[in-house]
Amino acid sequence: KQEVTQIPAALSVPEGENLVLNCSFTDSAIYNLQWFRQDPGKGLTSLLLIQSSQREQTSGRLNASLDKSSGRSTLYIAASQPGDSATYLCAVKVANFGNEKLTFGTGTRLTIIP
């Protein structure tokens, strides 16, 4: 059974700093890994999607990497802003015929201090 873990569970950093969020998964048989952002009480906003054959994806100040063989992904946020405060979730799409699912990590609650 796929298990996805995110470390740290919570993180507070001053505005302007660069930061890294971590995601690890136990089964490397995945189609892709997706990073989401969730504001309190709201839905999920997709940030980046990395295919299993890719090493990284970039969008603006965000960069996500994937090392499938070691079961790890990182989300790098450059020059953090107060508006980046949210919970960040990583999720892997399991490549298991007849049981394809998106399995979520436990999330990292990020607070950017002005």
Partner 1 sequence: DTEVTQTPKHLVMGMTNKKSLKCEQHMGHRAMYWYKQKAKKPPELMFVYSYEKLSINESVPSRFSPECPNSSLLNLHLHALQPEDSALYLCASSQGLTDFYGYTFGSGTRLTVV
Q: Kindly list the residues in this chain that would bind partner 1 in the complex (CB under 8 A).
A: 31-32, 34, 36, 41-46, 49, 51-52, 89, 91, 93, 95, 97, 99-102, 104-107
Least CB distance to partner 1 at residue 86 (A)? 13
Of residues 79 and 101, the one with the C-beta less far from partner 1: 101
* CA-wise closest residue to 109 among 27, 9, 21, 2: 9
Dump the DSSP string for 21-38.
Answer: EEEEES---EEEEEEEEE
Asked if residue 8 has a cis previous peptide bond (ω within 30° of 0), the answer is yes
Least CB distance to partner 1 at residue 31 (A)? 5
Q: Which residue has the tokens 């690890």?
A: 24
Of residues 57 and 80, the one with the C-beta less far from partner 1: 57
Least CB distance to partner 1 at residue 68 (A)? 13
Which 3 state secondary structure label does DSSP give 11? strand
Least CB distance to partner 1 at residue 10 (A)? 10
Q: What is the 3-state secondary structure (H, E, C) of 39-50?
A: CCCCCEEEEEEE
Of residues 3 and 67, the one with the C-beta less far from partner 1: 3
Alpha-carbon 21 to chain mean position:
7
Of residues 28 and 106, the one with the C-beta less far from partner 1: 106
